[in-house]
Amino acid sequence: MSSSAGQAHHGEAHQKPLVGSMGVDSRKLGLWAFIGSETLFFATLIVTHLIFYARTSNTLSSVGALELLDPRLGYLAIELTTVLATLLLASSLTMVLALAASKARDWKRFRIWQLATILLGASFVGGQIYEFIHLYHEGLKLAPAFEMHLSHEAHKALTALNLDPSIVRLKEAGEHATALVPSLFGVTFFVMTGFHGLHVTIGIIWLIAIYVKVSRFPESPENPMDIELGGLYWHFVDLVWVAIFTLIYLI
């Protein structure tokens, strides 16, 4: 988004264009520092989620209801998320291939791989939107309690535990039984994954902008660096998902 003053001096041979006293492109250096900053941003979101998840699971396990009501097992569909994570990881590969193509100045191949990256990213976001809507209908909302649908057996088992309503409140409406559990799981989950999804969306817009620019000006020597920068951000966003997927879904 920014060009560098001083890097654009014509006529003075003391600096190569786009490379500064560190021998690195200024925008690349800036983007690395920005990624450092973003790491703390996501770390705070992830840690908040883990703190509140630990609290919920401790409370539920202290009354013996964790196995029936664990929001992670009850809501998060590991199959769907594995597919989404695979799509996003695959997009990192296609991004690398797009960059390699641009370095070989093969613009046709670049366009294919860049488009593939964009589409894979978009399917991830689409999948996430689907997941959010699904979870909302399942009773996981942006609210400090979740309402989980219960099977007949689960309802029976929970009724037998005779739980304090401040920990779990059972509700029965005709055939359907639900358990209302005060927990910040939904809040922290939606805020954390929502901000990640927002970052992926910004990344997609960025990659589209690069696609358009490179297609319009294939001769510009800035192209490989433009692509590399977009790719750097893209890989970071993927890596954040690896952290979220591992910490939230797997362990």
Partner 1 sequence: MAIAEQKLTSTAPTTKESFQWRSWLATVDHKKIGIIYIISAFIFFIIGGIEAMLMRVQLGTPNSTFLSADLYNQLFTMHATTMVFLVVMPMNVGIGNYVVPLMIGARDMAFPRLNAFSVWLFLGGGFLLYLSFLTGGATNVGWFAYAPLTQTQFSPGQGVDYWILGLGLTGVASIAGALNFIVTVLNMRAPGMTINRMPLFVWMNVVVSFILIFAFPTFTVASIQLLFDRQFGAAFFNPALGGDAVLWQHLFWFFGHPEVYILILPVMGMISEVLPVYSRKPIFGYSFVAFSGVGIGFLGFIVWAHHMFGTGMGPIANGFFAAASMVIAIPTGVKIFNWIATMWGGDVRLTTSMLYAIGFISMFIIGGISGITLASPPIDLQQTDSYYVVAHFHYVLFGGSILGLFAGAFYWFPKMTGRMLDEKLGKAQFWLMLISMNVTFFPMHILGTEGMPRRIYTYESGMGWEMWNFIETIGTFFLAFSVLMFIYNVLVSLRSGEVASNDPWDAATLEWVVPSPPPSYNFLHIPHVTSRRPLWDAKYPHTTADDHHGEKSAPSQIRYEYSHEDSPGAKEIHMPTLTFMPMVLSAGLTVAALGFIYINQAILGLPIRTASYVFVAIGIVMVFYAIRGWVLDSRRDSPYLGHH
Chain residues that interact with partner 1, rule: CB under 8 A = 1-12, 14, 17, 20-22, 24, 26-27, 29-30, 33-34, 36-38, 40-41, 44-45, 48, 51-52, 55, 142-145, 182-184, 187-188, 191, 209, 217, 220-222
Structure tokens at 49: 């989620």
Q: Least distance from C-beta 60 to partner 1, angstroms?
A: 13
By beta-carbon proximity to partner 1, the closer residue of 178 and 182 is: 182
Q: Least distance from C-beta 152 to partner 1, angstroms?
A: 28
Give the C-alpha separation, 209 to 233, whole Å.
14
Give the C-alpha separation, 250 to 78, whole Å.
8
By beta-carbon proximity to partner 1, the closer residue of 59 and 94 is: 59
Percentages (nearest 5) of helix, strand, coil residues in the chain: 70, 10, 25
Give the C-alpha separation, 128 to 227, whole Å.
26
By beta-carbon proximity to partner 1, the closer residue of 13 and 173 is: 13
For 123, the 3-state DSSP assignment is: helix
Q: Least distance from C-beta 39 to partner 1, angstroms?
A: 8
For 151, the 3-state DSSP assignment is: coil
By beta-carbon proximity to partner 1, the closer residue of 7 and 178 is: 7
Helices and strands in the chain, H and E counts? 8, 3
Q: Least distance from C-beta 99 to partner 1, angstroms?
A: 19
